[in-house]
A and B are shown apart, each in its own frame.
Chain A
Amino acid sequence: MSDTIITDVVIVGAGPAGLFAVFELGLLDIRAHLIDILPRAGGQCSELYPEKPIYDIPGFPIVTGQGLVDNLVKQIEPFHPTFHFGEMVEAVESIGEPNHPAFRVRTDAGKTFECKCVIVAAGGGSFQPKKPPIAGIDAFEGKSVFYAVRRMEDFRDKNVLIVGGGDSALDWTLNLHPVARRITLVHRRDEFRGAPHSVNAMRELVAAGKMDLVIGQVSGIAGENGELATATIKANDGKAHEIACERLMPFFGLTMKLGPIAGWGLNLHENLVPVDTEKFETSTPGIFAIGDINAYPGKLKLILSGFHEGALAAQKVHRYVYPDKKLTFQYTTSSTNLQKKLGVN
C-alpha cells in the first residue's frame, strides 16, 4: 500500500472529456490526477477507433480518434496532470461535508487518493474483457479460466487452450509456450489479425509439432470445482470434438461495463449518472459527471458536449477548492495570467 496521494481533483477516465477537463481545471489553478483502466490515454477514441476520422470536432474538419487524443494530451501538458493507467477506481468514499466536500478514492492497484472533488468521465464505463457465452463458465473464472495472465506460474505444466486470432491470443500463445505443457490455439478461421511476425512464429511452432492449432469455436467446457478438464470445440463443418485442457484463455476483445461506479452512492438512471446542466454535478455534492456517462434532458453523446460540460464543472470545482477566492472570467486570447499558466507568455 502506497502513501495517500493528495490532490485537488481525481478524474475517473482519461478519454477526451477527462483530458480536456484537466485543461479547464488547470486554467483555474486546480491540479488533477487521471485514472484509467486502459494502458493509455484516449478512452473509446484510442480503443475503438484510433484510425477512424471524426468530422464533428469544432475547428477540425477531419481528425482521427488518435489524432484528437494526441492533441488533447499535448494541450494539457502545461498543467502536468498525473496519469494512473491500468487501474480501476474501486471505491469513492465521502470524507467531507456537503459545503466542504472531500473524498477518498481507492484503485484496484491499492493506490489511495484524497481530493476535494471527483470528476467521473468514464464514458460507457470501464473496458473489460468480453466473456464468451459458454454455459457454466462463471464457475471456472479466476481458477482455470482467465482473461489475462497475472501469474505465469498459474500455467506451468498445464494444457492451455487459448481462443482468439489477435495479438493478445498470439502473444500469450508464444509467451506461455515455454511454460505450459501444451498449448492449443483455437480460432474460428485460419486467418489471424495479429502482427505478422507473431503469426509466423506461431505457425512455425505448429509445423514443428510443438503446439496445436485448431480451427473452430469453443461450444462447451467441463470440469469440477472450478478446475477445467475438457473443452468442446465445434469445427466449422459442425462436427464437435473434445480437447483435454486445464486452463482456458478466451480473447474476444473488450466491452464496456459500468463496473464499480454503481457502488459509489450516486443516483443512476439506466447505467448513466444524472447531473444538472449548470454545474454537471451528481446527486453527491463534489462529484461531477461529464461526457458519455452523464444524463440530462437533451443530452447528446458527442465529444464536444463532454468538453463543454468539463468547462462548466470546473467553475463549480473552483468554488470547492478555493472557497475564499473570487473567480474572474478570463479569455486565453487576452489574459496574460492565463497565458503564463499555458507557458506561452
Chain B
Amino acid sequence: MAKITFVDSEGRARTVDAETGSTVMETAIRNSIPEILAECGGACACATCHVYVDEKWVEKTGKASAMEEDMLDFAFEVKPNSRLCCQIKVSDALDGLVVATPGKQG
C-alpha cells in the first residue's frame, strides 16, 4: 500500500491509497481522479494518462521505456519529468509519490 497525491492543473491536490502491484493510472481511475482519461485502458497505446512526476520522485519512478517515449510523442507539453502513469507500478518505495496532471490529455 502506498499513498499517492495527484495535483491537478488548477493546483488542487488529492491523496489516495494505491494498492501495491497496481499502476498509478489504475489508482487514478479507481479514485475518479480528474484529468486522467486512460482511453486505451493501460495498454501504453494512447498517451491520455500523461503526468508530470514531482522532481523529488523522478529517480524512484525511473525512466520511460522506449515504447513509452514513443507514445509520449502523442502527449502535449511534454517535459523531462513526463510519464504515462499506466507504466508506473505502485510499490512500497513509491509511498508518498506526487504527480501533477496536465490540463489537456486528448
Contact = CB atoms under 8 A, between A and B. Distances in A.
B53 to A, nearest CB: 17
B90 to A, nearest CB: 21
Nearest to B72: A188
Interface in B38-52: 39-40, 43, 45-48
Interface string B63-96: 0000001101111111010000000000000000
A259 B78 CA distance: 27
B78 A256 contact: no
B58 to A, nearest CB: 16
B22 to A, nearest CB: 17
A188 B78 contact: yes
Nearest to A54: B43
B103 interface: yes
A6 to B, nearest CB: 36
A189 B74 contact: no
B82 to A, nearest CB: 9
A252 B77 CA distance: 12
Given A48-B39, A217-B78, A133 B48 contact: no
A256 B73 contact: no
A252 B106 CA distance: 9
A48 B78 contact: no
A165 B75 CA distance: 12
B77 A44 contact: no
A52 B45 CA distance: 9
B60 interface: no
A188 B39 contact: no
Contacts of B43: 48-49, 52
Contacts of B45: 48-49, 52
A26 interface: no
B74 A130 contact: yes
B104 interface: yes
Contacts of A252: 73-76
A164 interface: yes
The B interface is mostly helix, strand or loop, or mixed, namely loop
B78 A253 contact: no
A132 interface: yes
B43 to A, nearest CB: 4
Contact of A133 (B47, B70, B78, B104): B104
Contacts, number: 48
A256 B103 contact: no
A252 B47 CA distance: 10
Contacts of A44: 40
Contacts of B70: 193
Interface string A167-192: 00000000000000000000111010
A14 B76 CA distance: 29
Contacts of A165: 73
B73 A188 contact: yes
Given A49-B40, A130-B106, A191-B69, 20 more contacts: A48-B40, A48-B46, A49-B43, A52-B45, A130-B76, A132-B76, A133-B76, A133-B103, A164-B73, A165-B73, A166-B73, A187-B73, A188-B72, A188-B78, A193-B73, A217-B77, A252-B73, A253-B47, A256-B39, A256-B106
Give the 3 A-B residue pairs with the shortest CB-CB distance, closest first: A255-B106, A133-B104, A253-B74
Interface of A: 44, 48-49, 52, 124, 130, 132-133, 164-166, 187-189, 191, 193, 217, 236, 252-253, 255-256
Interface of B: 39-40, 43, 45-48, 69-70, 72-78, 80, 103-104, 106
26 contacts: A48-B39, A48-B45, A49-B43, A52-B43, A130-B76, A130-B106, A132-B76, A133-B76, A133-B77, A133-B103, A165-B73, A166-B73, A187-B73, A188-B72, A188-B73, A189-B73, A191-B69, A217-B77, A217-B78, A252-B74, A253-B46, A253-B74, A255-B46, A255-B48, A256-B39, A256-B106
